[in-house]
Structures are given as structure tokens and as C-alpha cells.
Amino acid sequence: MTDHAPATEPALTDPATAAPTEVSSFRIVGSLVVAGLVSGLILVGAFLWTQPLIAANQAAALQAAIFRVVPGTTTTAPMHQAGDGVALVKPGGEVKGEALIYACTRKDGSLVGYAIPGQGSGFMDTISLLYGYDPGRKVIVGMEVLDSRETPGLGDKIITDKHFLENFKALAVEPDLVPVKRGLKTKPNEVDMITGASISSKAVVSILHKGNRTWLPRIGAATSKGGK
Amino acid sequence: MSQAGDDHALRNELVKGIWRENPVLLQVLGLCPAMAVTNSLSNAIVMGVATGFVLVGSSVIVSALRRVIPPQVRISIYVIIIATFVTVVDFALAAYLPTAHKALGAFIALIVVNCLILGRQEAFAAKNTVPLAIADAVGMTIGNTLALVAIGVVREVLGSGTLLGVNLFGDKFEPWVIMVLPPGGFITMGLLLFAIALRKEAALRAQAAALQEAP
């Protein structure tokens, strides 16, 4: 306290009625500017301090998910679009914001499949997910939602519903994926929807569909050329 | 003020928020987070602690600067202070508790508009010394967290059949999905407030009866 306050604390001075006319507008503007500046500095500091951790968390979550959506993986390598196909990202050659997929290999170096990230509109917000694709059998072998804001208890079943997730253990990608009502799945390219969460579960299928269109022809081109 | 008087005042400010002036259950403040994120006990705890950190932090700053902040722009400055704390909490949770951050989503950022926090700055921190403001903020935090926990327990047990993620009833139990959805929040909150109102009325009646008997 810089000012010479009286010894006894004026406990209940209502700031709203405490002589508002005596404050100069310079002080009003000044205090707002100072408050904004100090706040800005703190925010920049907090951002710089937490950003590496947040980025590391996201990267770790993605890496962990790759191993789950492509079972049997021991090593992964990022790949990017190159011409009509895909090519391994050279060390240090990653471009920020570039779409990547991940080639998954076994211990002996043979290819298990690819982990493909996808995004699209869900019921509430963007759903981002990662799915595994086996080019040998032409099936999707796993799917995991990385981030979503679907309705708790309904839409978020796309993350928790075992029956729904079972769809993606061996889902044929040819012909195109078809969403069907729960329990009506008969063909390998059909996906059983979740009752009460049809928008969210259809969103998942359409994200997979979009990912397939973008990546599968490229992966096909790359594998037919013998390149990994 | 004597030492004993100080201690008494501090204790009084601390205790009042826990029950007598419980922010959620009796002042009925900050209901948006109280209903939005209480669909599980862990969410309720994280939300209570995050709100508490913002409340205590802002109360200290507002109380320390109460003679410096010009009254005309005090609300704007309170909001800047609160928003700064909230953003720091948001970043820190994303960095250190990513799962909790994912579960609470936008509601962390929405702590800014929790009227409990701004209300305590205007009603208490801006008029009292730092120790009293801390006592008040800590008391309100405990009261707020307890209320969130009470609602969270009811909603998680009935709505998911679990408590802190541990399955309570086995596979036979069909969860009352409505309890984890927004209506569940309203229903639980309504019943809690009703129970408290009944209790209050019973206490008042007992008081009135005692007064009538007295002469």
C-alpha cells in the first residue's frame, strides 16, 4: 500500500460510491492499459511454457493411437503426398500443416498397413480420428476417435460402444462403405450404426470415406510400384 | 482489531461459503458449470479445483489492488484479471492433465463468465483485506466443489453406473442415460434445491414454534 491509509481499515468502502469524480481519465485509461499489458505478458509466458508440453501430449496421443489402430505395428514412419503416390517424409523435411499418414511396419521391416488421420463435422464439433488400413487385404483394421465434442452418453458412443468399434476390425473398403441400421450388417463393407447416435456414427463413416478417397488410390499407386 | 477477533473473522469468512452461503446450493450462482460438467465425479472435482484456483487468485489480486483500481473501470479490470487466470488454467490443464482437459472442453474457458467469481470480487474482495479475501475465496471454493461433487456423484452413479470410472453394479444395470445428459443436471439440481428448501422451512417452523412457546 503506497498511500497513507488511516490506521483503522475502512472495511466497507463501496467502490461504486467512493468519490468517483476524483479519478482523472488519464488514470482510468492508464490502469486499463497496464492491466491489459500485464495480462498479455502473463498469457504469452504461460503459452510459451505450456506449448511444448501440449504439442508433445498430442503427438504422444497420436503415436499411441497408431499402434492401436494398426495391430501388430512395431515401428511407424510418417509419409506425405508425393505426386500421385505417397513417399516417406525425409528426416527434418516435414512441412508444417501438411497432411501425413503413417506407414506401419513389423519388426522384420515388412509392411502391416497405414494409419490414416481424418477429420470431419460431427453432431457438435469437428471429429478427428485415426484409422488403420491394410492394403494387402484392402480392409480397415481399426479406428479410434482422437478428439470430439459429441453429446455425452449418446454421440460419444462412437468412442466407447464396443459393438460399433467392432465394425472397424475388418471393414472392406470396396465397394464404398455403407452405413446401415444396427444389427442389419450383412456385407463386409457395411457399418452398423449406433441407435440414438446416428449423426455421430454416420459422421465417422463419412470421414473414413473421405480419407479413403484421398489416400487409398495414392497408397495403391505406391504399393503397385513396389515402393513402400 | 485484536488477534482473537482477526482469527474469528477469518474463520467466519472461511466457513460461511461452505454451507451457510454455499455459492451453488444457497446463493444459486454459477449454475452453468454446475450442470454442464457434473456428469461424472472426476469432471466435477477438476472443475471445482480449476474454478477455485481462478477464484482465489483473482480475489488476492483484486483485494491487493482495491485502492489502485479506479472504480469506474473496476469490472473491466476484474474481468481481465479473471480471464488471465482462466487462460493460464486452460493451458496448464492441457499440458499436465490432457484427459481432464479433453473431458471438460469448452467449459474451462467458460469459467470466465462464472458469476460466482465476478460476484465474489465485487461483493467481497474489492472491499476487504487480502487475508479475509483469501478466506472468503477458499470457503466459496470448498462450498462450490462440494456442491459439484454432490451433483456429480448422483449423476455418474445413476447415469453411467460407475463412480470415478469404477463399475458399481455389474453388467445387469441399465444406466439412466438421461442423468448424464443436460436434463439429468436440471433434475438433480432441482431435487437438491428442493431438499434444502424443505430443510430451511422446517428450521424456520421449529424456530417459530419455539418463539410461541417461550412466553
d(CA A181, CA A164): 11
pLDDT given at position A224: 64
Strands A100-105 and A139-147: unpaired
Lowest mean pLDDT among A5-9, A38-42, B68-72: A5-9
In DSSP terms, which residues pair with A134 in a beta bridge? A139
d(CA A68, CA A80): 21
Residue A39 lies in a domain: no
Residue A29 lies in a domain: no
pLDDT tens, A188-217? 889 999 888 889 999 999 999 999 998 998
Alpha-carbon A80 to chain mean position: 18
pLDDT tens, B104-137? 877 888 888 888 999 999 999 999 999 999 999 9
The total of structural domains in chain A comes to 1
B39 to A153: CB separation less than 8 angstroms, yes or no: yes
Residue of B nearest to A151 (CA): B181
Residue-range definition of the domain harbouring residue B38: 3-213
B128 to A20: CB separation less than 8 angstroms, yes or no: no
d(CA B34, CA B144): 9
Q: What is the pTM of this model?
A: 0.73
Alpha-carbon B41 to chain mean position: 14
- Chain A residues inside the 8 Å CB shell of B129: 9
Phi/psi at B14 (5° precision) = -70, -45
Alpha-carbon A109 to chain mean position: 28
pLDDT band per the 50, 70, 90 thresholds, residue A225:
low
Residue A17 lies in a domain: no
d(CA B30, CA B14): 19
Residues with Cβ within 8 Å of residue B164, at least 6 apart in sequence: B40, B41, B42, B156
Q: Which of B6, B58, B88 should one mutate to test binding to chain A, selecting the residue with the greatest count of A CBs within 10 A?
A: B88
The total of structural domains in chain B comes to 1
| Closest approach of A177 to chain B, Cα-based (Å) | 29
Residue-range definition of the domain harbouring residue A218: 70-224
Q: Chain A residues contacting B, CB < 8 Å?
A: 1, 3, 5, 9, 11-16, 18, 20, 23, 27-28, 31-32, 35-36, 39, 42-43, 46-47, 49-51, 53-54, 57, 61, 147, 149, 151-154
Residue A143 lies in a domain: yes
| Residue B27 clears pLDDT 50, i.e. is over it | yes
Residue of A nearest to B63 (CA): A1
Mapped onto helix, strand or coil, the DSSP state of residue B166 is strand
| Residue B157 clears pLDDT 70, i.e. is over it | yes
* Structural contact between residues A104 and A132, judged by C-beta atoms closer than 8 angstroms: yes
Between B67, B70, B95, which is nearest A1 by CB?
Answer: B67
